[in-house]
Chains A and B, each alone.
Chain A
Amino acid sequence: MSFCVYTFNPAAMLTENAPILPKTERSFDTKSITLTVNGKPRELNVMPWVSLLDALREYIGLTGTKKGCDHGQCGACTVLCDGKRILSCLTLATMKEGAEITTIEGIAPSDTDLHPLQKAFIENDAFQCGYCTPGQICSAIGMLQEGKAHSREEVKELMSGNLCRCGANVYIIDAIMEGIK
């Protein structure tokens, strides 16, 4: 029997499968990569297994992008990569060599002003703890650029990759609907 990541119960599978032991013999090389993050070129030396999310948070110090599940399921880590919304937890930093990344820190027009969606989130009370908010806003910016969301129903469906555990969803959709106008 093999394993299944999402469709069956991974925890049960893990106990059935003996854990794979770490390989200690080999050494691995770091990768030198350049990412343009919020308009600024960043040279990074990262091990190949460092996710884009960890690179942003731990190497560059941009902690606005959040780690919710680290498995692609919650959307807290959503950033824009060459204008498209992607999950930074399921992306290796090295995979994005040369890409332009925009995080929540990079969306406001200036240090003293906010992005219209940031304003709409505040005005509509579109968060409680705020943990999902950076991902929600980056995802919503990506969605608005895609140009496919018009109705409330469409917005709900196209924001389905971003979960809010506080349950602010109704107000999140309100805020985004305001952004569409």
Chain B
Amino acid sequence: MISYPFDYVRPESVEEALEHLGGDTKILAGGHSLLPTLKLRLSAPDKLVDIARIASLKKIKKDGDEIVIGGAVTHREIMDSEIIQKHLPVLSEGAAVIGDPMIRYKGTMGGSLAHADPSADWSAMVLAAGGEIVIQSKKGKRTVPATEFFTGFYSTALKDGDILIEIRFPVPEEGTKMTYQKFTQPASRFALVGCAAARLPDGSARVAFTGVADAPFRDKGVEEAVGDWSEATLEAAAQKAAEGQNINADHYASEEYRLHLAKVYCKRALLQLVN
């Protein structure tokens, strides 16, 4: 049951949706984070703007040397997309470990990034895949690299009146490898700790964590330590996981345990990328 009343609109286009935003309005995509929040009385917007059926936000396409995922594309659509399976298989494999099948039919990548739960799965994968977030407001469009998008606990670069319309990824160069490894919180299936990693053909790495700190982050310390990708170097690199981060503690995992998991899952991810 939702205790507070609100209006509901379902615009047909992004332009129309923008007209509805402002004041105490919230965007509704899959509703699988927002509706529980309303039920828990943690938020009481006046109006929900349902973007889940806006056709322009539902597309997955290859645009030159970029892969573009629309702001209202669901986890399931990413899992099943041939374009994603071909160019960014890590995302289709990653989608398959989010929640359960019912969650994946409704939840969206855009909604997950906008909600910025510190344990969400997409955040780490989008960071490691070098993603950029395209945001539209009445003033125009802007593109924010994923590295600047997450600003803190449930906080992002999105402002009132903004719609996340696309997530763009560079088509990985031939020979790039990516993986996502997570320790699943057994009840919710969120990432207690998740590590996404990419190995580029020039030998460099992109390594990102979710579940560890208030916000997901790229881990420069690990990235710089992968060296020749020998097992010994990778072991040393994984020991640097989350160095300098303010590590979360809650009733699921202490700070010490989370840090331990970060190292273990970092090593697993890096080893996946060898050979």
Contacts and interface: CB of A to CB of B under 8 A. Distances in A.
Interface stretch (A81-89, A108-116, A118-126): A81-89
A48 B7 contact: yes
B42 A13 contact: yes
Contacts, number: 141
Interface stretch (B46-54, B65-73, B201-209): B46-54
Interface in B69-87: none
Give the interface centre of B44, B48, B99, B106 by most chain A CB atoms within 10 Å.
B106
A51 B103 CA distance: 16
Contact of B6 (A49, A73, A78): A49
B36 interface: yes
Contact of B188 (A6, A17, A26): A6
Contacts of A86: 102, 105-106
B190 A7 contact: yes
Nearest to A3: B42
Given A72-B32, A85-B101, A7 B39 contact: no
**What class of interface size applies to chain B in its complex with A?**
35 or more
A5 B105 contact: no
Contact of A29 (B7, B10, B38): B7
A68 interface: no
Contact of A90 (B4, B10, B35): B35
Contact of B102 (A26, A95, A161): A161
A152 interface: no
Given A2-B153, A20-B43, A84-B105, A90 B117 contact: no
B218 to A, nearest CB: 21
A90 B36 contact: yes
A9 B7 contact: no
**What class of interface size applies to chain A in its complex with B?**
35 or more
A160 interface: yes
A47 interface: yes
A87 B46 contact: no
A29 B9 CA distance: 11
A5 B37 contact: yes
B31 interface: yes
Given A2-B154, A26-B5, A9 B43 contact: no
Contact of A54 (B1, B3, B102, B106): B1
18 contacts: A1-B153, A5-B36, A5-B117, A6-B36, A7-B211, A8-B250, A9-B250, A9-B251, A20-B41, A22-B4, A23-B5, A48-B7, A48-B8, A49-B6, A51-B1, A86-B105, A90-B36, A139-B102
Interface of B: 1-8, 10, 28, 31-33, 35-44, 46, 48, 50, 52, 99-103, 105-106, 117-119, 153-155, 185, 187-190, 211, 250-252
Q: Which 4 A-B pairs have the closest CB atoms?
A: A161-B100, A48-B8, A49-B2, A7-B119
